[in-house]
Structure 1
Amino acid sequence: MQTAVGPTRQLLVLLMALTALGEISTQLIIPSLSAIEWVMAAKPGSSLLALSVFVAAFGLGQLVLGPLSDRLGRRPILLAGLLVYLAATSWMLLANSMGEFIGARALQGLGACSALVMARAIVRDVWQAQAGPALAMTVIGMLCAIVVSPALGGLLTRLGGWQAPILLVLIVASVIVVVVLSRYRESNLVRDPQAGRLSTLAANYADLLKDRSFCALALTLAFTYGAMFAVIAGSSAVYIGLLHLSPSQYGMTISAIVAALIAGALFTQRTITRLGPNKIVSLGVSLVALGGIATLVTHQILGLSVLGLSLPQVLVTLGGGMVLPASVAGAVIPNAHRAGLAAGFMGFAQMAGATICGLLLTTLQDGSAWAMVMLNASFAFVAWSIFHLLQRQTRRATALP
């Protein structure tokens, strides 16, 4: 008979690495996007599609893999996804055209999504009702990787060309596979034989989405991450192409901006048990909206500059560091019997926001920073509006006799 997996520091470190894998896959290669376009004789801006298809596959895969792990267990789904990830990353290294590179990125996103959704579900399995601080710690690990990755990616691109960051991703993923095989036992000991069946999947999601509080958290996460993704995806062209920073200078600038994500996540990790997820999301999304609107106003009044773009974005990332872990904790903790389903939908919502924003950015780009700044502010304001509207409706419904 299987015994329960205990909450250990070693397991938490592994879950932090799994949570970070998807972001590392994107952040490391962003400084090399221009080089990839040049090597593959692709038109400028075409590499943005490689970012968008990754997040689309990353999000859609979680809708199936999350509930499927409620049925089959976390370990087999995690290992299968990681093997797909390794194959796709190897394909990226061998790609000879932008179309081939984009196809490999889509497959890589599908493999990477298993790491994120399984990490979140495993946290709920092991830490149970006290999962909030542990979920925040996994996000802190992911954010530390985001802070380091752009600068490291820029340095690797300068020293070893566009393939160097991808090779590092391949090495990191290989190490994670070895650790999962040797250190992680199955944590989902109470499985649902009906979970993950196509005949019941839509009904299960419909039942989950009847909860207004869950919807508020999912939509807030989607639009908050969309606001941040506008800058993640568009910043390379703006900082390097328009503001004439070198790839390494760009990487250091983005790393400084996203460092505020860690501060927000640390605040969440230390206060979520006392304040609760909803209060932290409310505070965080307010900072996101304030930062997005300040970026737009600064751009319109003072024009484009490194400081005028970067400083207001610190508010966006500070608030985002609160929203990401708190919204996931608020959605997953009450759904112990379907942790994979809830974690999968939250991951899908996060990536859906990024995908929609990425597609809009690709469509609206005109060679200036306007599309990036406008989408950042718009998604941030919508996130704030939706959260407070749905929370108000939830309170009214609860107050009714």
Structure 2
Amino acid sequence: MQTAVQPSRQLLVLLMALCALGEISTQLIIPSLSALEWVMAAKPGSSILALSVFVAAFGLGQLVLGPLSDRLGRRPILVAGLLVYLVATLWMLLANSMPEFVAARALQGLGACAALVMSRAIVRDVWQAQAGPALALTVIGMLCAIVISPALGGVLVRLGGWQAPILLAFVVASIIVLVVLGRYRETNTQLDPQAGRLAKLAANYADLLDRSFCALALTLAFTYGAMFAVIAGSSAVYIGLLHLSPSQYGMTISAIVAALIGGAVFTQRTITRLGPNKIVSIGVTLVALGGLITLLVHQIFGLSVLGLSLPQVLVTLGGGMVLPASVAGAVMPNAHRAGLAAGFMGFAQMAGATFSGLLLSNLQDGSAWTMVFLNASFAFVAWSVFHLLQRQRRPATALP
């Protein structure tokens, strides 16, 4: 019988890197989007589609790869996904047109999604009932990537052009592949031969999607959608309208999203005592407050670097709580289908980002209004959905 993999710092570092890969893939290239459009003779704003298709593939893939890993194991799905990621990243480097680049980004998103959903499922496999703090730590790895990558991407674009950030993403993924092949062994010791089959999958989803799970999934989706509106739209606003350089823009975004780490650290330290739902409630309230203040400041005082950036710190601080706490609250009670639960939460997160990105792409008018309005709207919906569903479920299933 295979010996169960034990928790270790080395494994946790690997899982943090896997969780961060999707954000590295996106945040590194954001400062290069304007240069990419110019080199490929694409219309302004068309590069937003490259962000949207990535998160669409990233989310949809998790609906398949999560339950498939419950059936086949985490390791084969993880290795296959990482190899697809490497091929797609090479394709991006060689792309000659925006449609070709967008197609490569979609394939890259499919490969990267394996890293995220497997990292979350592996945490549940190994840490079991103590998975909450460990999940929060893996999210901190992802958030560190969000903080560091925009500034680093801005510097790389200035030094090496639009291809330099993509090349760094390829190098990072190559190192992760080598570590996975050499150090990681299977953690799913109880394979379910029925997992992934349509009948069993439908039954599992019907059982999984109760009111409590839906509250966490929808809150995660709209919270991430609120943040993604700024992530995807900020390059055009800060560089095009506020006239920051790519490196200044990267440092500004990094300063804003640094609050994500503060929220995740708070979650990691308090989730055992407060529970996931309480932390999600605090976090989504901060997100809604930050989105509302951003909208009011923009309408009253107009567009400015500080007026846009400072209220968004509240959004990212709350987001840093919502992301790990909602995933922990969804995955921890579902040990027997950790891949399924982790996959659906990843899908929900990316669905929110995709919806937000598509609206931003189709509604943009050359001003910052669309970005600011979508940020506030998604934040308000996240707060409303969570508290509505929580009120409806509390009498029957109050937390101890």
Aligned residue for 2:381? 382
Task: Say whether residues 1:149 and 2:142 are aligned partners.
Answer: no
CA apart distance, 1:84: 0.3
| 1:161-204 CA distance string (max 9 Å, x none) | 00000000000000000000011010000111100113332232
Q: TM-score, normalised by structure 1?
A: 0.99
Long gaps (5+) in structure 2:
none
The whole-number CA distance in structure 1 between the counterparts of 2:188 and 2:84 is 22
| 1:222-269 CA distance string (max 9 Å, x none) | 000000000000000000000000000000000000000000000000
RMSD: 0.7
The whole-number CA distance in structure 1 between the counterparts of 2:121 and 2:302 is 45
The whole-number CA distance in structure 2 between the counterparts of 1:202 and 1:95 is 39
The whole-number CA distance in structure 2 between the counterparts of 1:302 and 1:396 is 44
Aligned residue for 2:65? 65
Aligned residue for 2:337? 338
The whole-number CA distance in structure 2 between the counterparts of 1:6 and 1:160 is 42
The whole-number CA distance in structure 2 between the counterparts of 1:15 and 1:269 is 15
Aligned residue for 1:181? 181
Q: Map of 1:1-400 to 2, 5 A cutoff? A: 1-209=1-209, 211-398=210-397
The whole-number CA distance in structure 2 between the counterparts of 1:11 and 1:185 is 10
The whole-number CA distance in structure 2 between the counterparts of 1:205 and 1:222 is 17
The whole-number CA distance in structure 2 between the counterparts of 1:176 and 1:398 is 41
Q: TM-score, normalised by structure 2?
A: 0.99
CA apart distance, 1:396: 3.0
The whole-number CA distance in structure 2 between the counterparts of 1:68 and 1:163 is 34
Secondary structure of the 1:189 match is: coil
Secondary structure of the 1:43 match is: coil
Structure 1 segments, 4+ long, off by >4 Å, are none
CA apart distance, 1:113: 0.1
The whole-number CA distance in structure 2 between the counterparts of 1:168 and 1:104 is 16
CA apart distance, 1:207: 1.8
| 1:57-114 CA distance string (max 9 Å, x none) | 0000000100000000000000000000000000000000000000000000000000
Secondary structure of the 1:26 match is: helix
The whole-number CA distance in structure 1 between the counterparts of 2:264 and 2:308 is 22
Deviates more, 1:105-114 or 1:199-208: 199-208
Name the count of aligned residue pairs: 398
The whole-number CA distance in structure 1 between the counterparts of 2:206 and 2:51 is 29
Secondary structure of the 2:5 match is: coil
The whole-number CA distance in structure 2 between the counterparts of 1:188 and 1:205 is 20
Tell me the percent identity.
88
CA apart distance, 1:206: 1.9
